[in-house]
Every structure is written in C-alpha cells, then in structure tokens.
Amino acid sequence: MIRIFGIKYDGLIKKGDNLAKITIESLRRNGVEVENRDVVTLTHVAVSKALGYTIRLSEVKPSPLAVALADRLRKPPEEVEIILRESREIVRLSGGRIITRNRGGIVCANSGIDLSNVDGGLSMAFQPRNPDRVARKIRKQFLDENVEVGVIITDSFERPFRMGQVNMAIGCAGVAPIRDLRGKTDLFGYVLRFKQMAIVDELAAASELVTGSSSEGFIGALVKGYQYDFSDDGVKSILRSRKTDLFL
C-alpha cells in the first residue's frame, strides 16, 4: 500500500537550511518517521531558497531585449530579464509566457522561474541549473542522518493539448526515473513494445495531491510503500532532444 504524507513546515526556508533535517523533524512532529526506501519529493522553490537561488527584482537591470519582450508580453522587464538569464533558448512566445529551454535543459514556461511562495512578489526563485546533482546532494544529507531515501525535486508544468498544470520531476537521485516494460506481456500475452513508465513524474504528480501549491505551507511529500529501482541516472537521462521532441 502506498501512503503519501505532506511535509508541513511552518518556518521560512532560508539559504543554508538542511532540507533533510527539516523534513525528518517536521514529519516526526506529526508522528511520521522517514525510513529506508521511502521517497522524498521537494518543491523546487524550497530547494532553491535553501540553496540561495533567488534574486530580488529591484536588483535586476533589464536588457534592451528584456524591455522589448516585456512590452509585448505585458510583464515586468525585470522578470523577463531573469527568465532570459536562466534560458538556453527561446522556444516560442505565447499567451504572455516565454517558452524556453532553461539552463537545466528543461522546456517550460518562463524558464521555470517562480514568484509564488518566495517573499510576496519581491523576489523570484529559479530552478537549479543542475537539478540532478542537487538531488544527489540532498540525498547525501539524508544518508548523513542514517536514512536512505530516493529524492525527487519537483515543479509544476503545463502540458501540450491540456488545460492546467501537473507536478513533474526536474531532478532526482536514488530512484530510477523510468520503469521499462518493453518486452513484458499483457494479460493476453501481447508483447509490449513502447511502454515506459515515467516513475519520477508519476510520484511527483501524486505528491501534489497532498502538498497543494499555493498557501498550504508544504515543502514536499514523503512517499511510503512504493517499490522502486535504485538509479542515479537522473531526470536528465529522460529529457527528449530537440530531434525527438514531439511538440517542438
């Protein structure tokens, strides 16, 4: 049986915080112990704040390109400047959003920059530029606390042809991101040819049912009872290249 517990934290995450200790202590206060083979999902905003990956809008000097795009998109030029700094390329402009491939190689709206749950709109949090490496560091923090878990860093994304956002993995450590079912048979003996389950995305999406993504005060979730394979391949191993992307 799979159980998911929200990691409720009443304080404010600040640079230098040990997210493993915060997770263990926050869950323990609610009668939940973090155990070996659990999975911990953490929101990218919590991770970014702990790493100091935030910037105040008042400290940003927009470039001419940012100013031009801001006028077209009706966004503050300082916000657009940060989006551009955290992008490798602009994929398209649509509906007030800048779709980019960000520094971590992920195609998303606004380079994955967040204003929510940072400090009331004065600052923005940006995704780690190597989220898999950050996930490995956080997993090491848990190992230092004598517990071996899988770690998934999450963020919410829009999807082609669908309304609404879904939580997905941007980085992971200790969890195989894909469960490859190709070559297995179904109930009728038919051999599966294409089925590959994006395990880390499914766990990320399930965790948001518990954490929410607005004013709830959860920094992530603890997943118990899910049997996963160990791997440090990371989310980078499942990112499609431009050549194989179906929607670009």
Closest CA to 80 of 97, 60, 96, 66: 66
Please write the tens of the pLDDT for every residue from 179-194. 887 888 888 888 888 8
pTM confidence score? 0.93
- 177 near 237, Cβ under 8 Å? yes
Residue 215, pLDDT score: 59
Residue 101, H or E segment: strand 97-102
Instruction: Report the C-alpha gap between 96 and 231 in whole angstroms.
Output: 38
What percent of the chain is predicted at pLDDT more than 70?
Answer: 98
Please write the tens of the pLDDT for every residue from 100-126. 999 999 999 899 988 777 777 788 888
Please write the tens of the pLDDT for every residue from 58-77. 899 999 999 999 988 888 99
Instruction: Report the C-alpha gap between 82 and 230 in whole angstroms.
Output: 35
Q: What domains sit in the chain, N to C, each tagged with a CATH number?
A: 1-47+133-248 (3.30.1330.100), 54-126 (3.90.1660.10)
DSSP conformation class of 59: G
pLDDT at residue 214 is higher than 60: no
* pLDDT: which is higher, 145 or 212: 145
Instruction: Report the C-alpha gap between 6 and 26 in whole angstroms.
Output: 10
